[in-house]
Amino acid sequence: MDRADLDFAHLPFAYHKTDANVRVFFREGAWSAPEVTSEEYLTLHMASVCFHYGQAIFEGLKAYERPDGRVQTFRARENARRMRHSAEKLLMEPVPEEVFLDAVQRVVQANRRFVPPHASGASLYIRPFEIGVSAEVGVKPSIDYLFMVFATPVGPYYKAGFTPVRLLVQEEIDRAAPGGVGDTKAAGNYAASLRATVAAKKQGYSEVLYLDAREKRYIDESGSSNFFAVRDRTFITPASPSILRSITNASVRRLALDMGLSVEERPVAVEELASFEEAGALGTAAIITPVEAITYGEQEFVYAKDGQAGPITTALYERLTAIQTGEAEDPYGWCEVVPD
C-alpha cells in the first residue's frame, strides 16, 4: 500500500487534507446514492437553514489499523444511532443507519493511505455531519439535507496524549440546560462552549468543567468530553439530561464492570470533588484523559500526583485502546473491519 508521506507519530489533532469525502443528499423525500468526491468545498444557498436557524449536527468516530494490517472502526453503529437522536430532536431528516455505515466505510476505503500505522499513537478521525440546506427566511425546518462524511489522520486530542490535564469548574457560563439539546451533538452546543473554554485555556487550564444550569450544584461535563471519577473502586459518572450521550463513556462503564468495579451513573454533587481518588475525561477525541487537578473557586483538588494517572484510569485506558486497535479480543462486538 502507498501510505501517505506523513509523520504519523507526531500528528496534531487537526484537519489534514485527504483523498476523498462522501456526500448523500435528501431531496424530494428520498436519500440519493452516495457520491465520493475529492472536492473539499461546498456550495450552499446563502439562506440555507443551517446558517440561520442552526440545523447542523455531527458525529465523531475513529478507524484504527490492526496488527494484521486490516482497518477497523469502533462502535460506528452507535454513532449512527446517536446522530438519529440528534436529528429527531432538531426536527431534521434522520440519516438511515445503513446509509450512515455505508458512507463511513466508503470514506475509510477511499482514504486508506491516510490510516496511521498500527502502534503509531494516531488514528483516522471520521467526521459525519448533517445540515439543513433549504433556502428559508422563516423559522422552520429545512426540507432538503446534506449528509457528508470526511476523514483526517489525527494524533491525541490533548497534545501530551495520556498525560493528566487540569480543569477549571465553570460557575458562570452554562453550556446547555435541562429540556434543551445538550444531549445532542448539535453544532450550536460547541459554539456556546467556546467563550468558557478559550478563557480557561488563557488561564492555563486544558478545559472547563460545567455545572448544571438549574442549581449550579451538580457536575455536568467538560467542554469537549464526559467526566468520570473513581472512589473506593467505584467508577462514578454524572447522569444529566443536558450532557452528551458519550459512546466512549458507555464502553468504559462496561469495561469497568468487567474489571470488578462498581459503576454509578447518577447526579454528582460538586462537593464530591474533595473525596475522589482519580478523575478523567471521556470522549471519541480524548478517549480517556486523566485529570491532574480540578480548580473550584479557591480550592484545587489533585488526583494525579507527580503527573501520573491513577491505576484504575490507566487500566481502563489500556483495555479500551487495546480493543480499539485490535491488540485485544473484542468480546463485545464493538469493532467492525472495513473491507479492502
Catalytic residues: 185
The owner of cell 504519523 is 8
Rounded to an integer, what distance in angstroms lies between the CA atom of residue 10 and that of residue 5? 13
Give the CA distances from residue 155 to residues 44, 72, 122, 273, in Å, rounded to whole numbers and listed in that order. 31, 17, 5, 30
Of 120, 124, 213, 130, which is closest to residue 175 (Cα–Cα)?
A: 213
Paired sense of beta strands 287-296 and 165-170, if any: parallel
Evaluate whether 256 touches 235 at the Cβ level (below 8 Å).
yes
User: Using the 8-state DSSP alphabet, how is residue 222 labeled?
Assistant: E
Whats the size of the chain, residue-wise?
Answer: 340
The owner of cell 479480543 is 329
In what helix (H) or strand (E) does residue 299 lie, and over which residues does it extend?
A: strand 299-302
Q: Is 326 left (phi over 0), alpha (psi -120 to 50) or beta?
A: left
The owner of cell 473484542 is 330
Q: Where are the beta strands (DSSP E) in 134-277?
A: 145-154, 165-170, 207-211, 219-222, 226-231, 234-238, 262-266
Phi first, then psi, for residue 62 (nearest 5°) are: -130, 155
